A and B are shown apart, each in its own frame.
Chain A
């Protein structure tokens, strides 16, 4: 049996999960990565995607919309802005998220803000839409 590490998934409002896991697949901003026990300490930001958690008890999946993951010596914490368990995910949820991303995109486009906000919003929108296809909803 593989080594396990402590995994915490917290959203601003509450702690969603806290359990020992064998591996976690993280949708990192620069590409997916899988963290297992004794991973090098890393901090990465998240893009909207699916977080897959493999624990001795089984596999669970969460949809995360952004935030960051911290892999440390004592385990892995994912601080997600919004996290929804996949089995509670519905098309309506996703539509809502896509709509939100679209509005953000529109407003930043109109106000023409600096620091590449437009690109960010465009990417967010694309990510959200890709997510829908990925989940085949």
Chain B
């Protein structure tokens, strides 16, 4: 049975923990708003881009001379997994969910006899995958110094990936990130970026693209745009990830705050009980002492 003093100290320590988690939750909420705004601002570009690319890819994709980035290298022996996670922890299952998805995929590929290479973005994913898949690491992008993810960061990652592709290091590239649905739900997602696959625009914009004049030719444009497409997709994923991370952290910290509150209640009850027990004990001692006289 812990003494009264011990209980008091524990209550104080849980209280300060609650203060910290509460503060982290509020910081995450503010950051989440900013991250969501950034994701929203980036949407027009990505939508336009995909619509144009879908049209182009549909008209050029069939031909033999289609660029490698679109048509692929012709086989799928070597896979590059780009695993994007956060730089910080304390955000619930966010990092481990992405890492888990990537791990399952990697093990599947290895079991199927493929070669797997992993490029990690964000420290936490690297730590999570190091033990099982450390031998497959080919590189790491550190974003811990980056306060606000910009397009330039995505470009750097894309450049790295494209240089590896041009060097013939892999055939298929897939990015892993968490799609932001709402504050409590983030869906870990795998998305293939090379060879590029574009979803046809829903609003039928693709049907109109057939009559466009292209300057220079369609293929030249496609060759110019495909590398940008990789950067755009990575950028979109980074932004989604940013929002997801803050959302996950917010709900994790909300839970932690609530748990701390429950714990304080429990400890307070225990503290009061033992205080009463101590008083009762003292009374008994006094009374029996008086009776003995």
Contacts and interface: CB of A to CB of B under 8 A. Distances in A.
> Are A and B genuine complex partners?
yes
A42 B216 contact: no
Contact of A12 (B45, B208, B211): B45
7 contacts: A15-B45, A28-B215, A42-B212, A45-B221, A68-B221, A79-B52, A81-B151
Given A12-B235, A13-B38, A30 B208 contact: no
A43 interface: yes
Given A11-B45, A12-B45, A13-B150, A44 B166 contact: no
A78 to B, nearest CB: 10
Contacts of A73: 208
Contacts of B46: 12
Given A15-B44, A43-B214, 4 more contacts: A68-B221, A70-B48, A70-B52, A79-B52
A12 B151 contact: yes
Interface string B219-238: 01101110010011001000
A91 B154 CA distance: 26
B145 interface: no
Contact of B228 (A14, A72, A81, A113): A81
B41 interface: yes
Nearest to B223: A115
Interface of A: 8, 10-15, 28-30, 40-45, 67-68, 70, 72-73, 77, 79, 81, 113-115
A37 B214 CA distance: 18
Contacts, number: 80
Contacts of A45: 215-216, 220-221, 224-225
Contact of B208 (A28, A72, A114): A72
Q: B45, B211, B224, B232 — which one has the most chain A CB atoms within 10 A of its CB? A: B45
Given A45-B225, A68-B225, A81-B228, A10 B45 contact: yes
A33 B251 CA distance: 52
B141 interface: no
B interface, by DSSP: helix, strand, loop or mixed?
Answer: helix
Which 3 residue pairs spanning A and B have beta carbons closest together? A14-B41, A12-B151, A44-B215
B64 interface: no
B101 interface: no
Interface of B: 38, 41-42, 44-46, 48-49, 52, 56, 150-151, 154, 166, 208-209, 211-216, 220-221, 223-225, 228, 231-232, 235
Nearest to A31: B215
Contact of B42 (A13, A40, A44): A13
B38 to A, nearest CB: 7
Contact of B44 (A10, A43, A113, A114): A10
B215 A30 contact: yes
Q: A12, A13, A72, A73 — which one has the most chain B CB atoms within 10 A of its CB? A: A12
A49 to B, nearest CB: 15
Nearest to A28: B215
Given A11-B151, A13-B151, A15-B44, A79 B213 contact: no
A29 B216 contact: yes
Contacts of A30: 215-216
A28 B216 CA distance: 9
B208 A14 contact: no
Contacts of B232: 12
B211 A43 contact: no
A44 B216 CA distance: 7
B211 A41 contact: yes
A11 B235 CA distance: 12
Nearest to A104: B159
B233 to A, nearest CB: 11
Contacts of A43: 52, 56, 209, 212-215, 221
Nearest to A15: B44
Contacts of A10: 44-45, 48
Contacts of B150: 13
A3 to B, nearest CB: 20
